[in-house]
Structure 1
Amino acid sequence: MKRKRPSRTAQRANKKQKLLAQSTERPSHALLEQYYPEVVTLRQYLASRLPKKRRRILQQYGRDATAEKDSALVGLLDTTLVGSFEHVQVDDSSFVDDDISLFTQQISENGTAPSLTPGKFKQPEIVDYAIWKLFRKQASNLRPQHLLCQNYQRYLSVNDSGPGPEIVPGIPGVYSNGPHENVDTLKNHPWTAVPDVLGRGAERAVADMLMECGLFAPIGAANNFVQISGVPMSDLAALTMKSKGPASGSEIQQGLLPLELRQQQLSKRKLTEIRFLRHRMLYAQPMLNAKGYACFGLHQTHAFNRFSDVQDRSQTHHLMKYIFPLQFGLHNVLTSDVDHKETAYAFKDYTIREKEIARLDSARRQKRPAANEIGETRLPALPKRLRGAAEVLVARIRKRHTKCSYSALLEHYCPRHDIPAQDDHNSLNRACSLAEVSSFCRAVVIRVFPKDLWGTDEAGQSNAKVLLSNVDNFVRLRRYETLSLHDLVQKMLLNADWLQPQSQDQGARLSASDFAKRKELMSEMLYYIFDSFLIPLIRGHFHVTESNGQRNQLFYFRQDVWKELCEPAMDSLKVNMLEPCKNGYASTSTRQLGVSHVRLVPKESGMRPIINLRRRVQKMQHGRMVLGRSINSLLTPTFSILNYEKARGHHSLGSALFSVDDIFPRLQKYRQSLRDQGLLGETLYFAKVDVQGCFDSIPQDRLMELARLIINDNDYQISRYSRAKLLGAHNKETPGFGTKPSWKFLTKAGPADRSFDFRDEVKDDITEGRRRAVYINGLAPKRESRQAIIALLQEHVQSNLIQIGKRLYRQKKGIPQGSIISSLLCSYFYADMEREVLGFVDDGKSILLRLIDDFLVISIDRKVAEQFMHTMHAGVADYGVHVRLDKSRANFDLEINGSAIPKTTAIEFPYCGNAIDTRTLDLTKDRERRKKTNIADSVAVEYTKLPGQTFYRKLLNALKLQMRAMLLSTSYNSPFTVLSNLYHIFVEVAQKSYYYIRSLPQNKQPPGKLTIRAIDDMVKLACVLMKHRRRTSKDVIPYECCVTGAQARWLACTSFIRVFGRRQTKHQMLLAWLKVQLGSPALQAQAHSLQPVVVKYGSVWRLVCPRDETSVLVASSTEQWNWM
């Protein structure tokens, strides 16, 4: 008889607790997930590589309280992250055993290490094996693209600086030429304990992980990591949305390598990823005729002008290769990769592609040797889809181009305007309006491209309207905005005759493959029209540029008008700052730096010269043209050395400020000094001057004398590393999650006799508040001698060559303004002037602030302020200092040489975009300056990809830029000042949000729910930023902000209601939510105390419509449909 259990629970079988519960929870790191489909912990990865029994041992290690454990190893297993491209399969056992046997045999033969037994490798030996295998897999003589192989090389080479490479014990045939921090980390505890936990065959799993995956070790707090193994993440391409996540079974079977996987992803580029490079239409110089006058039309290098014989059918076929490169197997934007050694941009410039076409024709002739022997001269066959109607249309386009009078259309749509005498000094008044430029471009497109290109009947008219609308949008976009090819194609109907196969009936049903082919042909045609016709059209007729005060707004000047504006400014530049270049300076064999170029930026009065030193010039290398390094890139080691000397403090920089934020600690210290002396509350005297032509007036010889004193070590060491962060959100549930990785490639100079400690540098960077970043160490540090740096600096300062037209000039006075070292050299130079001329300011009761060339003195002694003003206005000839009277300011009555200095009557004294309270030294925004601000000029709208998520990200970024400690510190400012600052921050963010939404097309504007969520998250972020700012080394007093979350939310809701209330019908859902928020008891309690902030300051910004926003979109009916 079967025995019964006494009770249901007494003898119940205890279910064994799952050991995998904790190990299957995957870590989340949004930045790493942008590059690796799978991101797991080290424990999870190794467990997936082990048999079931040893897997359970690894998963249980450190989680059983009764068993012995290595706490460092437990932390390593659970905090180190592994990024892999797929479930990497272990190589066939026979091949792995052969490699290991060969490795151990070579070590034994070389006698560089004790004999090794396969299957019993220790961790250092596994690392050495991985490095040896990586070099063995590399076919060429190049170093493998892997962090473990950094500072190793396969062959001996001449090393002029420092000792030569050394033999590496344990790695046959490999030499060392520098430190190996990552290798040392992997060879020391707790990594040395990993093989013992894994057991037999550990070398296979660990070596495979080291070679194929990315290893990331945590450093500091806030989810920061350092990559210690794998292909450097900076060399990887970010994954597309389709490729994120685990790899498919077919990919695993194919054994795709990471590089092959990325190439497969790029085989067909999405239309949303193809964005027009509008910057190519900027800063074009006029084409001149024999008499030196500006002439109009497409440039002579344009394909329409190079193939001008409209009767030659072969030229029509040749031009079709430019329009439809994909159909002929040429390089194109839809499927081809871009060699970034040839161009620095996302896509190539296809103006001239004769070499590529010649190679294609040569390859075709080699495949048909029989036809070549016979002497066949017939035209090569066109692709089937381009025969017939397509060929006829291209021939018509060529003929219409020859008949189009570009100059007559320009005079009709963009005539020269007579400017009143009182406005003649403002060069911006000479620019054409956006409506005029748009009308001209649309008229040219209508006359050159026949209407049959877009179809017949209503479909053709619809396509024409879409095309002209996109041309109008293209012209009106701001400087950093663009369109994608998807924006042009999405509304186009694909039933034009030339898109159809010749053998297909008109009423035949459209197949999926035929639709894809039609879309491909239309995409190529539209890309050619905008990239290779519209942009050259604008360049040939207009000089497109930003202005000095409106950085995002573009101005279109007729080329002849621009030539008239530039000639006086350029002549003045040649006389005052430049001199014709002598042959000695032009010797390219002895010069390290190239030639820079100058362009002029219009101002309200006159022109401002800008020297471009970031431009990468093309040079010949191994028989082909590649991009060289820019001048600023060559000066990066010099910049790092100057920064290192600045940090050492051997040469005082005086009152120099290196950012606007540096004002805050300086004023903290000054006010604390006044308080300690019992002088706080005394009348403060403010005096401000602006040095005229700061960079252009510095004496070069005196600057070089100072530079030789600053750079005084015989040798320096230059180290490099990179840092990545994610611009979007890090929470997967947040709009804009993982939007875009941002990389910075940093250099650090140090003494030659001390090695660079990468981890200490990263820890110092993290203490400044860095979060969720990834750091990657660079190659071996390079040594730079003082002699070489001084020579390079001397060439840059005293022999700066500038090309204007076809002539070279040397800058005889001043320093290049566009250089990365100009601001730092200027700070050193004026600090020397302070010691020599302005020493009277340093009396313990005054303070001098200087941001580049803006000087400000604050003193309780009026005589000090007056002496400062008299000294500066008298000029300091030895330092090239001259001050303009009309830009000087003071808060007291003062006359210099019979001229009154402009006096500020307001309580707040403006300085560098901020305002300082003349009674309490409280800091606010310069509201008077912002009253004149056009919000439209500060907004860059993303029209192409994920507009809703981009709006969310940009809204939060707009807030982050405004949340400065100097404005929010209640330990320095009064609470009322902080509340008013916070209110104006919210007002500006609301203004930008309103205009951003308004600028988007109706179908791309974010819905009400997304806008509400973005504003709600913005308020939460503001509360976090107010409270959790970390103290830095510059702070004199601890940072504190006593503003509550309820107060911040009330101010935010009030500011958004004030802005969005102007369009109540369009934003009903948002306004209703804001009113509900203000109606809550917590916020109602704040209304009485916060109302004075809103009443006193109000909303000082204004919404300004963009230029010509009210102009019509399309041309007149007679213009639009008068097609031939």
Structure 2
Amino acid sequence: MAPPAVCKRTRPVVDRDRSPSRSRGSPAPLRADDDRPRKKRKVAQARKDDPTGPKQLAAATAPAAVPSAPHGPAVQHALLAQYYPRVETLRAYLLTRLPASSRIRRKKLRLVGKTPDPRPVERLLSRLLDTALIACPHDANGGGGGGGGSGGGGSSAGPNTNSAVQQPADDDDRPQLRTIFLQTRQADESYVTVSNASEGVHSPQSEIVDFVVWLLFKRAKQNATTKVFGAGNKRVGDFPKHVLCHGFQRGQAPRQGPAATAADGKPVAMPVCTVPGLYATKPNQHAQTLKEPPWPQLLALLGASGQAIMTDLLVDCSLFLPMDAGYGNYVQLTGRNVRIFPPLLPAGLTTIGKPLCDVISAKSDNTEKPSKPAAPHEKRYADIVFVRSRMYYAKPNITSADVLNRFPYQHSAPKKPVLGRDVASINKEHTVHIMMYMFPRQFGLHNVFTSVVDRTTTAQKFQDYTLREKEIVKAFGKRDRNGSGNKVPVPKRLRGLPMCLVEKLRILHSRCSYFELLQHYCPDPNKSNGQKMSASDEAVPIADDAAMADAIPMLSSERDAQESKQMVRAPPEHDDATRTNSETVPEPPETSALVDLATPLAQISAFCQAVFKNVIPNDFWGSKEAIQCHNKALFLKKVDAFLRLRRFESMSLHTLVQGLKIADIEWLAPPGLKDNKLSQTDLRKRQEIFAEFLYYLFDSFLVPLVRSNFYVTESNGHRNRLFYFRHDVWRRIAEPAMASLKISMFEEVKQSDAVRILESRDLSFGQVRLLPKQANMRPIMNLRRRVMKKGEARLTSSINMILSPVASMLNFEMKQHPERLGSSLFSVRSLYTRLKAFKQHMDAKKQRTFYFAKVDVKSAFDTIPQAAVVQLVGTLPSHPLYYIERHVEITAPEKSVRHSGPVPGGHRGRVLPPRTWQAVAKAGSDTTGFHDLVETRLAAGRKNTVFVDSAFRKAQDAEALAGLAATHILQNLVKIGKKFYRQKTGIPQGSVLSSALCNYFYADLEAKELGFLHADGDGDGDCLLLRLIDDFLLITTNEAKAARFVQVMHRGHPRYGVAVNPNKTLVNFRLTVDGHDVARLPPGAPFPYCGTHIHCSTLNLTRDREIKNNLVFDTLTVEHARSPGYHFKRKVFNYFKIQSHHMFFDTSHNSLRTALRNLHSAFTETATKMWAHARCLPSETRPSARLVITTIEELAEIAFVSLNRKSRALQRPDYKFSVSKMQLTWCVVLVGFSCVF
């Protein structure tokens, strides 16, 4: 019999984190300089694995032992949760990173700042631990403790749910790299505790921060790639995409020039850099903040493992600090820039948004080769949106040498048949050439599905594929004059029947009479009424068969045959600038509204559908008659829907392919395997080819077809509605207006002088288009367009982008010296602040009688004297030097959008947070960092916004900025047709500087011509003058001042170019000026001003809702997405949001009755738009009654929370909302919606 086992006596286990005393003896002091002795740590480590221990020990060690169950609940931040798998407080993160043996240290970390009488540094540290947020791109919640050699065990994190971020590969090398760094720096490591932590440049915390910066630069240099640019090579990606590295550069600091040494007459010291091999280009407040209290104290509290934990935190994670200004705002302190992270995908999806089981090779059989090039990131059909904006504002194609896709074919094929070559081979080359346009992905060419858009050549979301001859020549070689050259290999999947169908399409295209179809379906409105065609009209071609139908590439031999049927007559060259009489200018048609001359949408749709019926062979839609009719009818229905979309609406490829049956389309089947059973791989390949065909029909056939026949534009009074004018009709109504504009506003510049001016500066030229406005035209100058640089195939910066430093400087001066702006309003909403203060001042005086006077300046931007504005610009800068810095602002969607119920289709219906780049100007002597800038200037009035600094910082001399603005004003070149013109009067209306310059200029007018409003003895404070750009409004208790104000403004001021439009002047009292009665407001009616109504006695604010019922549909932008119910609900919430400004619901300014009336009007308008939105949806996707009721109920809840939330009280301390929830729900919502439904 074996002897019994000897049981060793074990010591009782005590919960060291929960008990204030040790198991033996007196309480131990809280040491922050070291952990327990090595022997005790080993014993504790051995006991940790004992499953029989008490629950207290298991609870104490759970965070470190189980990485997947971190300490404390995750923080549900509205914005960060969309980019990171887990967000937690700094305290919770550090508790999971401490080693399992550091129980006492974990307890100290829990109790920091929670003692009865904490010291100031402890309160500061406690606030940091509880408010700072830690977000990791990978789920790095611990594992193994922070004392390991890899620096905290960061590599043992869970799987990465965001494929754009990979786990660092050099975790195991960080201790060795730190040794190299210390040797390079030649500095001794100091030792600190909580009580005596050093805060100098050589403190442990400072060394960690410097080491992290040095490590990030080293890693970026190792991962950089070399690309060829022109004649030389360039390293790409050698700058770390990490916030902590902003403001540092490799190499030695350059000598301080004048731009960096003097500002306001005082020398500016360059920032000091303590990282070896780097120098500072601007102050980096991120790094400086990490070196200041309480960060050294926090490092000391972490003990021996603090070095590795802190390094892992700064390198692998993102840290966000809260801002006191605003509500829920944060600034990113460390980590990769959050703007480069794509939003998280749901589980089971890849970066291309397909299920993992669907990400397989697109092969149909063993012999089928994959499409070239290989597509590692294929775009989803829902993300491929047709660029409808290419249809807008197009010029007619009337050149017989080119075809619709704008490339001459006479260089790619002989005009006469070549001996030794039969017609069949030539036709085959033509067909293959067309197939490369239709199926670029199969031929390995640039395509919308797998290729990356070159942002240097286009500003659109996708590239324009109507011209790809250079790409074809580069890929397959150029044919010589005999038509011979490299033979283009046709993919196996496109041989046989697909080639025959494309050949048939080419033949039908050449036989189609596009001109006759246009005349039949879209006749000229004047000629259809029996009017005779003038001689000038006869000389203007609309487009002939060759120029209209050339969406399909065809060679010169075919084009010549068509030109023999009908020659294209180019219009004579007109010099509109020299026209001075009405005999050479076409008379505009007599009509009450120019939009009445537009072609109805039904006729446009019928014309385009007729073209498709005549050109596209029926076999493209299927071999069986039932499938063929179904697919063709559905496709033509999508064509009609595409043409009826409003200005900002579009259609995705996913919407186009929905409902089409492709399994029975014979030409999509692989050769020789048509009767085989359809496999999943073969089905995907068929979908791929058919999607290419559909995209070609819309992007390279339908869009150019509309461009070549119609001028598509919006109007001044119809918001988002589009109008289609035939090009000859548009010419008759636009040429007189353009000729008048050239005479009154522009002067012609010689071509040589224009080229010389453009080559000597960065500013390019603008373009002018005309916008229909009732019976006349309104000029619109486009200064945001990027043009191609001469001699280079890349886009240059737009004029407004080049002027952005000047705009930033003006914005800075306006905030620093608002008194120089006079009565300027930056928006209609800023009216509320001044009107409320004026009402409170008048209530103290018990004044209830107010006199209103409104005047409007005619063509303000076009009449301002240029010389006077240039002289004013020179006086605006108050500093000789400015620094222009850029940052990113990412705002979380509204709560109503984020939590409005489940979204069908997962992430596909989700609203992505908007990201905006902002440029900010600072004085050259300003040494404040980015955190101070956000706290003092940027975060005020913002909510749930993350501010991310960038490395951009550029010094701008004040004289140079003023000179750039003067050049823009005096030498503003525009291109009309093929000629250049200079704006000789006024300032550019589409410029980013126009509003600021107009405000400054008219403020000078107020000071010198309207000073009597604030200068009469004790009458100070009895006048409120408001001006939004050129709309003046005076509210006063003195009738004489109001009358004098109107008289002075009607007199005109040629020095300022001010002439008032008397037809728009309005007062609320009896007034006569120069013998004419001024328009008077009816008694009791509210006074209208810039979309708002002001009560003449109480100054209550209401919204101007005089909108015609038939214009409701024109104000909408309906999203035709995969989740119509979700987007319907989101749009309804937004319809109310845009009306929920506190100026209409503040019961401390408005009466309760007025606030309820505003609520009722807001809900009635929301209900009207809700009904119109539902009517715009197809019948199969319209919301159900249950969804409508649920939306109304949620809207009532969201409206009350939105109008009564604390964030409004933080923005406006005097804001008050006295409407109860019952009043809002029953008396407003139900009554408001019952008026519509």
Same topology, TM > 0.5: yes
Q: Which moved more, 1:1043-1052 or 1:987-996?
A: 1043-1052
User: Does 2:311 align with 1:207?
Assistant: yes
Give the direction of change, closer, same or farther, for the CA distance of 1:41–1:566 in structure 2 (3 Å limit): same
* Deviation of 1:169 (Å): 6.2
Mapped contact 1:800–1:811 kept (Cα < 8 A): yes
- The 8 Å contact of residues 329 and 939 in structure 2, kept in 1 or not, is answered as no
Distance apart, 1:526 and its partner CA: 0.5
Q: How does 1:667-686 map to 2 (within 5 A)?
A: 667-678=835-846, 680-682=847-849, 684-686=850-852
Q: Deviations over 1:966-996 (max 9, x none)?
A: 2112222222222111110111111111111
Q: Which residue of 2 aligns with 1:1025?
A: 1202
Counterpart check, 1:593 vs 2:668: no
Q: Any idea what the Cα deviations from partners look like across 1:35-66, whole Å, max 9, x if unmatched?
A: 22343444555555565434895487315979
Secondary structure in 1 matching 2:1026: strand
Q: How many angstroms apart in 2 are the aligned matches of 1:550 and 1:184?
A: 54
Classify 1:264/1:1031 alpha carbon distance in 2 versus 1 (closer, same or farther; 3 Å).
farther
Aligned mates of 2:637, 2:807 — CA distance in 1: 47
Measure how far apart 1:390 and its partner are: 1.0
* 1:278 aligned residue (388, 409, 412): 388
Q: Equivalent residue for 2:433?
A: 318
Aligned partner of residue 652 in structure 1, secondary structure: helix
How far does residue 866 in structure 1 lie from its aligned partner after superposition?
2.9
Residues 268, 247 of structure 1: CA spacing in aligned structure 2 closer, same or farther, 3 A cutoff? closer
Contact 1:990 1:1055 in 2 (8 A): no
Q: Does the alignment pair 1:714 with 2:880?
A: yes
Say yes or no: does 1:83 pair with 2:135.
yes
Determine whether 1:151 maps to 2:247: yes
- Opposite residue 985 of structure 1, the aligned amino acid is A
Q: Which of 53, 70, 75 is the matching residue for 1:27?
A: 75
| Distance (whole Å) between structure 1 residues aligned to residue 130 and residue 686 of structure 2 | 53
What does residue 227 of structure 1 align with? Answer: 332
Identity %: 37
Aligned ranges 1:262-277 → 2 under 5 Å: 267-277=377-387
Correspondence for 1:660:
828
What displacement does 1:158 show? 5.2
| Aligned twin of 1:802 | 974
Tell me the distance in 1 between the aligned counterparts of 2:1222 and 2:376: 49
Q: 1:1018 to 1:81 in 2, by over 3 A?
A: same
* Partner SS state of residue 1081, structure 2: coil
1:244–1:132: structure 2 CA closer, same or farther, 3 Å change rule?
farther
Structure 2 CA distance for aligned equivalents of residues 181 and 151 of structure 1: 9
Structure 2: any 5+ residue segments left out of the alignment? 1-51, 64-68, 141-152, 157-167, 192-201, 225-234, 262-267, 357-372, 416-422, 532-587, 904-908
Q: In 2 relative to 1, CA 1009–203 (structure 1 residues): closer, same or farther, beyond 3 Å?
A: farther
Matched residue, 1:1113 = none
2:617 to 437, 450, 453: 450
| Alignment partners' CA distance in 2, 1:510 and 1:877 | 80
* Secondary structure in structure 1 of the residue aligned to 2:932: helix
SS across alignment from 1:185: helix
Cα distance, 1:13 vs structure 2 = 10
Letter in 2 for 1:283: Y
Where do 1:778-927 residues align within 5 Å? 778-779=950-951, 781-842=953-1014, 843=1016, 844=1019, 845-905=1022-1082, 907-927=1085-1105
Letter matched to residue 427 of structure 2: D
* Other-structure match for 1:1106: none
What's 2:892 paired with?
726
User: Is residue 533 of structure 1 aligned with residue 701 of structure 2?
Assistant: yes
| Cα pair distance change 1:734/1:881, threshold 3 Å | same
Give yes or no for the alignment of 1:132 onto 2:300: no
Q: C-alpha displacement at 1:305, in angstroms?
A: 12
Correspondence 1:1034-1113 to 2 at 5 A: 1038-1061=1214-1237
**SS in structure 2 opposite 1:144?**
coil
1:34 to 1:353, Cα distance in 2 relative to 1, 3 A: farther
Q: Counterparts of 2:1082 and 2:412 in 1: how far apart (Å)?
A: 65
CA distance in 2, matches of 1:378, 1:816: 52
Q: Hey, what does 2:457 align to over in structure 1?
A: 342
How big is each residue's C-alpha offset from its partner over 1:474-528, in whole Å with a ceiling of 9 and x where there is no partner?
A: 000011111110111121111212111111134x321111111111111111111
Moved more, 233-242 or 312-321: 233-242
The match for 1:750 is 922
Match of 1:403 in 2: 511
Checking the alignment, whether the CA contact within 8 Å between 1:284 and 1:544 is kept in structure 2 is: yes
1:687 and 1:95 map into 2 onto residues whose CA distance is: 72
- Flag structure 1 segments of 5+ consecutive residues without an equivalent: 1-11, 252-262, 366-371, 1062-1124
2:771 aligns to what SS in structure 1?
A: strand
**Gap change, CA 1:265 and 1:755, over 3 Å in 2:** farther
Q: Indicate the residue corresponding to 1:947 in structure 2.
A: 1124
Greater displacement, 220-229 / 805-814: 220-229
What SS class does the counterpart of residue 619 from structure 1 fall into?
coil
**What's 2:671 paired with?**
502
Query: Map of 1:52-131 to 2, 5 A cutoff?
Result: 52-54=100-102, 58=106, 61-63=109-111, 70=122, 72-87=124-139, 90=154, 100-105=175-180, 107-109=182-184, 111=186, 113-114=187-188, 122-131=204-213
The equivalent of 1:256 in structure 2 is none
In structure 2, how many angstroms separate the alpha carbons of the residues matched to 1:858 and 1:692?
21
Measured after TM superposition, the shift of residue 72 of structure 1 is 4.3
SS of aligned partner of 2:980 = strand
CA contact (8 A) 1:307 1:315 kept: no
> Is residue 512 of structure 1 aligned with residue 680 of structure 2?
yes
Aligned twin of 1:1101: none
Alpha-carbon displacement from aligned partner over 1:147-167 (angstroms, at most 9, x marks no partner): 121111112475753269989
Give the letter for the 2:1090 counterpart: C
Aligned-residue offset at 1:883:
2.1
Q: Name the CA distance, whole Å, in 1 between partners of 2:1231 and 2:589.
A: 39
Which of 95-104 and 396-405 deviates more? 95-104
Give TM-score scaled by structure 2 length.
0.76
Task: Give, in whole Å, the separation in 2 of the partners of 1:94 and 1:345.
Answer: 37
What is the CA–CA distance in structure 1 between the aligned matches of 2:464 and 2:291, rounded to whole Å?
A: 49
User: Within 1, Cα distance between the matches of 2:172 and 2:1219?
Assistant: 67
TM-score, normalised with respect to structure 1: 0.83
Aligned-partner Cα distance in 1 for 2:215–2:974: 50
Q: Which aligned pairs between 1:589-668 and structure 2 lie closer than 5 A?
A: 589-619=759-789, 625-649=793-817, 652-668=820-836
Distance 2:523 2:414 in 1: 29
Per-residue deviation, 1:835: 1.9
Q: How many residues align?
A: 1015
Pairwise CA distance, 1:590: 2.3
Asked if 1 retains the 8 angstrom alpha-carbon contact of 2:91 and 2:110, the reply is no
The structural deviation recorded for 1:846 is: 3.2
Q: Secondary structure at the match of 1:783?
A: strand
Code of the aligned partner of 1:135: F
**1:872 and 1:769, CA in 2 relative to 1: closer, same or farther beyond 3 A?**
closer
Bigger CA radius of gyration: 2
One-letter amino acid of the structure 1 residue matched with residue 378 of structure 2: K
Give the drift of 1:628. Answer: 2.6
Q: Secondary structure at the match of 1:711?
A: coil
RMSD: 3.7
Amino acid across the alignment from 2:1034: V
Distance 1:413-1:297 versus aligned 2 partners, 3 A rule? farther
Partner of 2:496: 388
SS of residue matched to 1:969: coil
Tell me if structure 2 keeps the 8 A contact 1:85–1:247: no
SS in 2 for 1:217: strand
Q: How far is 1:229 from its partner?
A: 1.4
Q: Contact (CA 8 Å) 2:189, 2:203: kept in 1 or not?
A: no
SS at match of 2:793: strand
CA distance in 2, matches of 1:222, 1:243: 35
| Aligned CA distance change for structure 1 residues 1025 and 903 (closer, same or farther; 3 Å) | same
- Checking the alignment, whether the CA contact within 8 Å between 2:514 and 2:611 is kept in structure 1 is yes
Partner of 1:218: 322
Range that drifts further, 271-280 or 879-888: 879-888
Residue of structure 1 equivalent to 2:732 = 564
Q: CA deviation at 1:795?
A: 0.8
Secondary structure of the structure 1 residue equivalent to 2:760: coil
